[in-house]
Amino acid sequence: MTIQWFPGHMTRAKRQIEEKLKLIDVVFELIDSRIPQSSRNPMVDAIVGSKPRLVLLNKADLADPGRTAEWMAWFRSLGHEALAIDASSGAGCKEIPGKARELVRARIERQLAKGMKPRAVRALIVGIPNVGKSTLINRLAGRSAAATGDRPGVTKGQQWIRSGSELELLDTPGILWPKFEDPKAGNLLAAIGSIKEEVLQVDEVACFALQILAADYGHVLRKRYGLTELPDRLPDIRSAAEVLEAIGRRRGCLAGGGHVDYEKAAGVLLRDLRSGKLGRLTLERPAPAEVHAAAPNEL
């Protein structure tokens, strides 16, 4: 399945970001802790260039803490500061202003040396749809300053929002790239709900997710759905579909004649995955050679 989704407001957002970049001190790149690589937009590197960057691994309360630690170390190895947060509860968010000031310390020290009062740090927040940008802005601002929603495509324009006296935040619509060259990235984004369901086939996405879950979190599937005969590996879509059928039967997702409604069964699995009912899971990890030792993140 090839997934393509690039609404017009995202094209405008890309152009507006490029126009505003000269006003920006630091970039907050917000990603989803459950799929840290696939929830990054490869266009961001080209758009923001060498601007100091703080990578914020959001929804860390839903992610495997051990793998979150691996990803934070990986981003730091690339020269970016990284922080695991949960914008909904506020966990980790109080550290953001201090991290931002640290990234622009040289500018602040120059201003102080000239007897100037440093202005607020201007931060650009970028990320794909439904990753939690508006929730984070509202958390940092201490008020409902940005529209939020549980579906991609809520934010339609740009706005500057103050966060105390230390930060000025520029919100932008979520930007996805026009075509996912890697089908795995598209399926992972669909699995966590970052792509509108109208543009995908949920049963295929569920089968893709099952292949990953069986290999890394088989014990979770066995416990949640009573899959006593679940193999450790699902080598193809057919074997994953058989597991999805078993889940559908156990959850009563039946159509006429006692046949399993695969779409309903897929909905059950994906809702459980997105809501955290399957536990704290991360669906991808850095290449082993690039993983550095790091302490597990505490939320």
Q: Which residue has the higher pLDDT, 296 or 178?
A: 178
Place of tokens 């607020």: 120
DSSP per position, 83-119: EE-BTTTTBTGGGHHHHHHHHTHHHHHHHHHTTPPPP
Quote the pLDDT of residue 200: 75
Region 116-128: mean pLDDT is: 87
Q: What proportion of the chain, given as a percentage, has pLDDT over 90?
A: 53
Region 47-59: mean pLDDT is: 92
d(CA 63, CA 279): 8
Lowest mean pLDDT, pick from 71-75, 183-187, 274-278: 183-187
Angle between helix 237-250 and 202-225 (nearest 10): 60
d(CA 267, CA 200): 12
Collapsed DSSP state (helix, strand, coil) of residue 55: strand
Edge to edge, the sheet with strand 167-171 lists 81-84, 53-58, 26-32, 121-126, 167-171, 159-163
Place of tokens 């966060």: 163
For the chain, the average pLDDT equals: 84
CB 283 within 8 A of CB 209: yes
**12, exposed or middle or buried, with CB in 10 Å at 0-12, 13-18, 19+?**
middle
The yes-or-no verdict on residue 108 having pLDDT over 80 is: yes
Quote the pLDDT of residue 256: 87
pLDDT band at 112 (very low <50, low <70, confident <90, very high): confident
Region 129-134: mean pLDDT is: 84
Quote the pLDDT of residue 18: 75
Handedness of CA 10, 16, 21, 26 (dihedral sign): negative
In the chain, which segments carry CATH 1.10.1580.10? 183-275
Quote the pLDDT of residue 191: 93
Quote the pLDDT of residue 148: 43
Class of domain 8-177: alpha beta
The yes-or-no verdict on residue 158 having pLDDT over 60 is: no
The yes-or-no verdict on residue 297 having pLDDT over 50 is: no
Give the tens place of pLDDT for each residue, 165-215. 788 998 766 665 555 667 788 889 889 988 766 667 899 999 999 999 999
d(CA 154, CA 287): 33
- The pTM for the full model equals 0.84
Half-sphere exposure at residue 229, Cβ-oriented, CA atoms within 13 angstroms: 6
CB 282 within 8 A of CB 297: no
CB 31 within 8 A of CB 41: no
In the chain, which segments carry CATH 3.40.50.300? 8-177
Quote the pLDDT of residue 46: 80
Give the tens place of pLDDT for each residue, 225-274. 999 989 999 999 999 999 999 999 999 999 988 999 999 999 999 999 99
Quote the pLDDT of residue 128: 81
Quote the pLDDT of residue 80: 93
Q: Which fold has domain 183-275?
A: Conserved Hypothetical Protein Ylqf; Chain: A; domain 2 (1.10.1580)
pLDDT band at 283 (very low <50, low <70, confident <90, very high): very high
